[in-house]
């Protein structure tokens, strides 16, 4: 009889925990809907949601590496953006040189908008996650183990990672990103991780 009472009590506790969990999830879901409706009602005009920028890389020495990647994007929500743009990269070593070109599309979600609210003296620093799909055209003659006899071939790479964003103006920021290629090919186009510094205006 005592065992039955203990089992019944445990069952009631489990049932109450399930109800409490459902109530908490309902509150979070309701708050999310209210915030989304408020943000939609107060959405700024399209001109203010558009942004421009990109990244530029320069390395001169035994290996010359020049990279230019402008982007245009839009903030879909206060924490979520999407952007796209072309890519160009010039590589040269002692023996050869090549041009890499293509395009990319990416999305970023701001996890923490203002780190100063958590860590004092962090300034206007935010933390974001970044997912990118990049399509590049490579010169067959430059890359070893080329899969075909055409003068150029293409690779498609999915990159993911995160970074920090330092606000430097009302609508501008400098971003430092660490990205990893999720389906890296044999051509080693990307670093491990791929480190990028970009500017957004």
CA torsion, points 191, 97, 198, 177, in degrees to nearest 10? Answer: 0
**Residue 7: what are its φ and ψ, rounded to 5°?**
-60, -40
* pLDDT one-digit tens code per residue, 51-80: 999 998 888 888 898 999 999 999 999 999
Give 41's pLDDT tier (boundaries 50, 70, 90): low
Sorted by where each begins, the domain ranges of the chain are 1-42, 45-200
CATH class of 45-200: mainly beta
* pLDDT one-digit tens code per residue, 121-177: 767 899 999 999 999 999 888 886 555 667 888 999 999 999 999 999 888 999 999
Asked whether the beta carbons of 137 and 154 are under 8 A apart, the reply is: yes
The candidate with the shortest Cα–Cα distance to 132, out of 157, 101, 167, is 157
DSSP E strand stretches across 26-79: 50-59, 64-77
Average pLDDT value for residue range 35-47: 68
Query: What global pTM score does this model have?
Result: 0.74
* pLDDT one-digit tens code per residue, 77-114: 999 999 999 999 999 988 889 999 999 999 999 998 88
| pLDDT above 70 for 16 | no
Regarding beta strands 80-92 and 97-112, do their DSSP bridges make them parallel or antiparallel, or are they unpaired? Answer: antiparallel
Question: In a 10 Å sphere around its CB, with 0-12 CB exposed, 13-18 middle and 19+ buried, how is residue 108 labelled?
Answer: buried
């Amino acid at each position: 009889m005592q065992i039955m009472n203990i089992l019944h009590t445990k069952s009631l506790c489990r049932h109450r925990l399930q109800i409490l969990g459902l109530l908490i999830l309902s509150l979070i879901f309701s708050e999310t809907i209210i915030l989304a409706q408020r943000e939609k009602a107060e959405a700024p005009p399209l001109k203010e949601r558009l942004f421009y920028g990109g990244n530029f890389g320069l390395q001169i020495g035994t290996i010359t590496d020049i990279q230019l990647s402008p982007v245009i994007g839009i903030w879909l929500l206060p924490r979520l953006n999407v952007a796209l743009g072309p890519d160009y990269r010039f590589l040269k070593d002692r023996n050869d040189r090549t041009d890499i070109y293509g395009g990319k599309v990416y999305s970023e979600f701001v996890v923490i908008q203002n780190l100063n609210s958590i860590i004092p003296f962090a300034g206007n620093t935010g933390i974001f996650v970044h997912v990118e799909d990049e399509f590049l055209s490579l010169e067959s003659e430059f890359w070893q183990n080329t899969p075909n006899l055409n003068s150029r071939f293409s690779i498609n790479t999915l990159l993911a990672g995160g970074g920090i964003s330092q606000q430097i103006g009302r609508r501008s920021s400098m971003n430092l990103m660490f990205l990893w290629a999720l389906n890296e090919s044999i051509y080693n186009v990307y670093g491990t991780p791929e480190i990028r510094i970009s500017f957004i205006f």
